[in-house]
Amino acid sequence: MNSTKAKQQTKTAITPTRAEDYPEWYQQVIKAADLAEVSPVRGCMTIKPWGYGIWENIQKTLDDQLKATGHKNAYFPLLIPMSFLQKEAEHVEGFAKECAVVTHYRLGKNEEGKLVPAGELEDPYIIRPTSETIIGEAFSRWIQSYRDLPLLINQWANIIRWEMRTRMFLRTSEFLWQEGHTAHASEKDAREETMKILDLYAELAENYLAIPVIKGEKTPSERFPGAVNTYCIEAMMQDKKAVQAGTSHYLGQNFARAFNIKFLNSNSKEEHAYTTSWGVTTRLIGALIMTHGDDDGLILPPKVATTHIVILPVIHKEETRADVLKYCENLATDLRKMQYAGRSLVVEIDQRDLAGGEKAWSWVKKGVPIRLEIGGKEFQADSVFLGRRDKTYKDRQSQSRTEFLNTVIQQLDEMQANLLNRALEFRKNNSVVINSKEEFYEFFKGDGGFAYAHWNGDPAIEAKIKQDLNVTIRCIPLEKNPEAGKCIFSGEKSPQRVIFAKAY
Amino acid sequence: MNSTKAKQQTKTAITPTRAEDYPEWYQQVIKAADLAEVSPVRGCMTIKPWGYGIWENIQKTLDDQLKATGHKNAYFPLLIPMSFLQKEAEHVEGFAKECAVVTHYRLGKNEEGKLVPAGELEDPYIIRPTSETIIGEAFSRWIQSYRDLPLLINQWANIIRWEMRTRMFLRTSEFLWQEGHTAHASEKDAREETMKILDLYAELAENYLAIPVIKGEKTPSERFPGAVNTYCIEAMMQDKKAVQAGTSHYLGQNFARAFNIKFLNSNSKEEHAYTTSWGVTTRLIGALIMTHGDDDGLILPPKVATTHIVILPVIHKEETRADVLKYCENLATDLRKMQYAGRSLVVEIDQRDLAGGEKAWSWVKKGVPIRLEIGGKEFQADSVFLGRRDKTYKDRQSQSRTEFLNTVIQQLDEMQANLLNRALEFRKNNSVVINSKEEFYEFFKGDGGFAYAHWNGDPAIEAKIKQDLNVTIRCIPLEKNPEAGKCIFSGEKSPQRVIFAKAY
């Protein structure tokens, strides 16, 4: 009896738990929250309304920030002439192996009456795996003089990269993103833009999604194909693996030379422009799930939550129905007048004809920050029965209606801060400074995490570590006063510690 | 001397004028307003920031309305398995002739080192020409019971239909749109949804874009492939041709049968669902240009304008510069605090180093509703020198700053109403009731317009008229009390007049 009870008490809404099987837990959280599903198209997912709502919120927030910093949205063709890709030598090497190719422009029927591609194109197109090339061609026409600079363009778009091993949100053949493309009159201006965007991405991750990130530079072997420098923000998931959550590239004059983007400078001399590109993708939603989710499912930080509060009417006696529903409606009306983080509170009343527990648990799994169960008792007492998603299901409490209304914004703020702090604490507990090769191998044969170690800059060492341990250098952290030391693999000089980890 | 002056006075910002060459005028307006450009990808355009901003405003407005009526956004794959298209017989006939086909998933190099498609797919994909099929497949899994209905989904997406003759915004191989897809438990519910959306589109066109439209049904030969009924909104352009500005389809159980979308009804019996689909596209921007534009370029109705007001500092003496600029800044600050049609006023100060006339004309061509020229005189007199885009360039006036601030919202309202009324008047003046075949042929061999005539419903007559005159039935107008009569082509019975016109 007791043991059964103990087992029931520890039963989780998601099976398996994170500890039992983290990758499978991830898939089950997505399913239980109804965020997305695998589609019949190889490697592509369908983003369902609950997942797409999160993306819309991210879009809105980032779009506002990009506009406030002078960027303008535009839209470039989905298809890119195959020949464009070839104009930048590293770029084509990086993307040729994984792009969808359009070779025909209609369907015909074969002798058996089956549909077959017809109308072969003389020059095939690829579906954009990124748009530096097609945008570079446009920039070469849009830019004539230094007066046209800086040119600050952003595009919200879908992208296809033919990935062999996919995982919903984190790596899919089609994904959604924004890609910024800018051109400047000097290296200094372009480098400033690159770093400004990196800061903006870090702020989005930390202050909006409550995902702590480390800003750093990629090593040459992990650079964007065609970039001079690639900067990134790296986050730690609950299985201690890293997710690259956004990148910002300084492209120098590489694409300007490839696409002839020239301008007359203020001395009337012709120069190639300096360009940047940068993006974040629907992958952020994967990082969100893996940073905050628990064994009961998704947890949404209030700022990005599609619904802040769900009200669950609990009707035990038919005669209280009208009173309870009216009470719920009034509560919702009062809450919807309030503002949190620049939005009106989004409040849902769930009147589905389901058992109370089942109903409440469905919202736990969807990660809604605050649940209010309202029955005859609450109606009588002018109170609410409150559950917060950053606490356990059992840790619920009664509050007077007035107290709740007076504190709800503060509670959302607390929850947002709690989630960030929890994730910061987790990262801290799973980051180590490592000073020997033996210790390094031991660390990554065990649980792993973020290892700060000295490295001499040799790509051969990177390759060996990747082969041995499936561990990569996530970034060279941006530090004001980097401390030099000795590479733990070669004994040679190292300018600063870099971060090693397994990664998605 | 006099004749030169007269010529200058009538010189227009756009060459040719509408009267001289309407199709070329259209292209030149797009160019002068910097809305979009032809891209290096066959039949595709690049939407530049000024054009994309209009689309963003349309999106925001329509998206709010769709959400307010219970629709939720989701995202489905860009690629559709070729076999899906074949499941609905009419659908495949309608789209097979114009779809981009993906046959390979990477690029390799041939013997000469040139890029060639590689990695052939066993089952090719098409790029979505519309998403009934891929969404139908999802709905078949999402819908089990009548409790899952109605299912109201919308998607904002890019579309490819390989068009042979393209025209920016109006007909391009790639375009942007929203596509709604809904499933219902009864024919009645699905038909109500179809008409609700048609009303919503008509309201968007008339009350937001100031484009008057006629709601009607398409004839069977103009129906969406696979639909039971197709409804549309039709607008008249300034060359008297029609633009189909949006469509809403009642699909009956056609797609439910093709994709096995079934539900258990409240009597526990299995039934096929009743579905609808509907969409508006970036074509609306084409209709906007052609409805309101004049021989000086684009005219933006204030509600959809990306910038409501542009302030043009006019610095004649260097010593007044600081005062004038400060005055402009203060004016902008005051204006930005005001709300118009649910948005804060968007105000731009143009400090480019250009001659005053050139600067002012650049905003005329971009269609900004209100221009304020501010020089030392205005600074001294605490006034503004105001130009309204619905009036001629010369028809400018001085107003005190106070009067302007007190009346600016009303002036925007007036302008919005003026533009709609002007377009309504134009349509009225170019719509005729026609009662004989001779008169009909004469009308369309002349200037044409909307011809209201009786027709017996015979598609052979439609085909003949199309062949003879390039005129089609735009719609069977939705009328409460249609008046029967006699077909002017066959003498047979006709239930009501239909609208004939040339069309884009």
In this complex, do A124 and B117 lie within 8 Å of one another by their Cβ atoms? yes
Q: Using one digit for the tens of pLDDT, what is the confidence trace for B333-348?
A: 999 999 999 999 999 9
Q: What percent of chain B has pLDDT over 90?
A: 92
Given a cut of 70, whether residue B188 has pLDDT beyond it is yes
The span from the CA of A181 to the CA of A277, in Å, is 5
Give how far B395 is from chain A: nearest CA, Å. 32
Q: How confident is the model at residue B354 (pLDDT cuts 50, 70, 90)?
A: confident
Q: ∠ at Cα B157 (B151, B161), nearest 5°? A: 115
In this complex, do A40 and B134 lie within 8 Å of one another by their Cβ atoms? yes
The span from the CA of A92 to the CA of A226, in Å, is 9
Q: Using one digit for the tens of pLDDT, what is the confidence trace for B47-89?
A: 999 999 999 999 999 999 999 999 999 999 999 999 998 888 8
Q: How many helices (H) and strands (E) does chain B have?
A: 15, 27
Shortest CB distance from B73 goes to which of A56, A103, A147? A56
Q: What is the pLDDT of residue B1?
A: 40
Q: Which residues of A473-492 are buried (b: 16+ CB within 10 A; e: fewer)?
A: bbbbbeeeeeeeeebbbbee
**B197: nearest Cα among B254, B246, B135, B132:** B246
ipTM value: 0.96
Q: Where are the alpha helices (DSSP H) in B143-186?
A: none
* A31, A79, A162: best to mutate for the B interface, most B CBs within 10 A: A79
**What six digits make up the tokens of A242?**
């890293």
In this complex, do B81 and A53 lie within 8 Å of one another by their Cβ atoms? no
In this complex, do B76 and A46 lie within 8 Å of one another by their Cβ atoms? yes
Q: Using one digit for the tens of pLDDT, what is the confidence trace for B430-444?
A: 999 999 999 999 999
Phi and psi torsions of B424, nearest 5°? -65, -45
In this complex, do B73 and A81 lie within 8 Å of one another by their Cβ atoms? no
Supply the DSSP symbol for B447.
T
Closest CA in chain A for residue B35: A74
Q: Where are the alpha helices (DSSP H) in B337-447?
A: 356-366, 376-381, 401-429, 437-445
The span from the CA of A477 to the CA of A454, in Å, is 12
The span from the CA of A49 to the CA of A285, in Å, is 13
Residues 6+ positions from A410 with CB-CB distance below 8 Å: none
What is the CB neighbour count within 10 angstroms for residue B65? 16
Task: Work out whether the CA dihedral A322, A324, A329, A334 comes out positive or negative.
Answer: positive
- A155 to each of A149, B46, B56, B104, B230, how far by Cα in Å? 18, 11, 12, 26, 33
Residue type, B334: D
The span from the CA of A214 to the CA of A223, in Å, is 17
Q: Using one digit for the tens of pLDDT, what is the confidence trace for B24-42?
A: 999 999 999 999 999 999 9
Q: Using one digit for the tens of pLDDT, what is the confidence trace for A397-418?
A: 999 999 999 999 999 999 999 9
The answer to whether residue A108 neighbours chain B at the CB level (below 8 Å) is yes
Using a CB-CB distance cutoff of 8 angstroms, which residues of chain B are in contact with residue A103? 101-104, 117
Q: What is the pLDDT of residue B2?
A: 46
pLDDT one digit per residue (tens) for chain A, 504 residues? 444 444 445 689 999 999 999 999 999 999 999 999 999 999 999 999 999 999 999 999 999 999 999 999 999 999 999 999 888 888 888 999 999 999 999 999 999 988 999 999 999 999 999 999 999 999 999 999 999 999 999 999 999 999 989 999 999 999 999 999 999 999 999 999 999 999 999 999 999 999 999 999 999 999 999 999 999 999 999 999 999 999 999 999 999 999 999 999 999 999 999 999 999 999 999 999 999 999 999 999 999 999 999 999 999 888 999 999 999 999 999 999 999 999 999 999 999 988 878 999 999 999 999 999 999 999 999 999 999 999 999 999 999 999 999 999 999 999 999 999 999 999 999 999 999 999 999 999 999 999 999 999 999 999 999 999 999 999 999 999 999 999 999 999 999 999 999 999
Max intra-chain CA distance, chain A: 88
Q: Using one digit for the tens of pLDDT, what is the confidence trace for A265-291?
A: 999 999 999 999 999 999 999 999 999
The span from the CA of B147 to the CA of B145, in Å, is 5
Q: Using one digit for the tens of pLDDT, what is the confidence trace for B234-259?
A: 999 999 999 999 999 999 999 999 99
The torsion of the CA quartet A199, A202, A203, A208, rounded to 10 degrees, works out to 160
Given a cut of 90, whether residue B392 has pLDDT beyond it is yes
Chain B residues 133-152 within an 8 A CB cutoff of chain A:
134, 137-138
Residue type, A108: G
The span from the CA of B420 to the CA of B301, in Å, is 9
The answer to whether residue A31 neighbours chain B at the CB level (below 8 Å) is no
Q: Where are the alpha helices (DSSP H) in B123-252?
A: 132-142, 187-203
Give how far B81 is from chain A: nearest CA, Å. 7
In this complex, do B39 and A103 lie within 8 Å of one another by their Cβ atoms? no
CA B333 to chain centre: 33
Q: Do residues B324 and B374 lie in contact, with contact meaning Cβ atoms separated by under 8 Å?
A: yes
Residue type, B402: T
Q: Is A369 left (phi over 0), alpha (psi -120 to 50) or beta?
A: alpha
Q: Which residues of A53-79 are buried (b: 16+ CB within 10 A; e: fewer)?
A: bbbbbbeebbbebbeeeebbbbbbbbb
Give how far B150 is from chain A: nearest CA, Å. 14
Chain B residues 335-364 within an 8 A CB cutoff of chain A:
352
**What six digits make up the tokens of B165?**
């003759």
Global confidence as pTM: 0.96
* B75, B149, B354: best to mutate for the A interface, most A CBs within 10 A: B75
Q: What is the pLDDT of residue B10?
A: 64
Q: How confident is the model at residue B6 (pLDDT cuts 50, 70, 90)?
A: very low
Residues 6+ positions from B250 with CB-CB distance below 8 Å: B190, B191, B194, B227, B228, B229, B230, B231, B276
Tokens 């509600």 label which residue? B303
The answer to whether residue B80 neighbours chain A at the CB level (below 8 Å) is yes
Q: What is the pLDDT of residue A1?
A: 40
Q: What is the pLDDT of residue B316?
A: 86
Q: Do residues B311 and B261 lie in contact, with contact meaning Cβ atoms separated by under 8 Å?
A: no
Reply yes or no: is the peptide bond before residue A477 cis, omega within 30 of 0. no
Give how far B126 is from chain A: nearest CA, Å. 9
CA A139 to chain centre: 28
**A293: nearest Cα among A6, A11, A502, A31:** A31
Closest CA in chain A for residue B173: A77
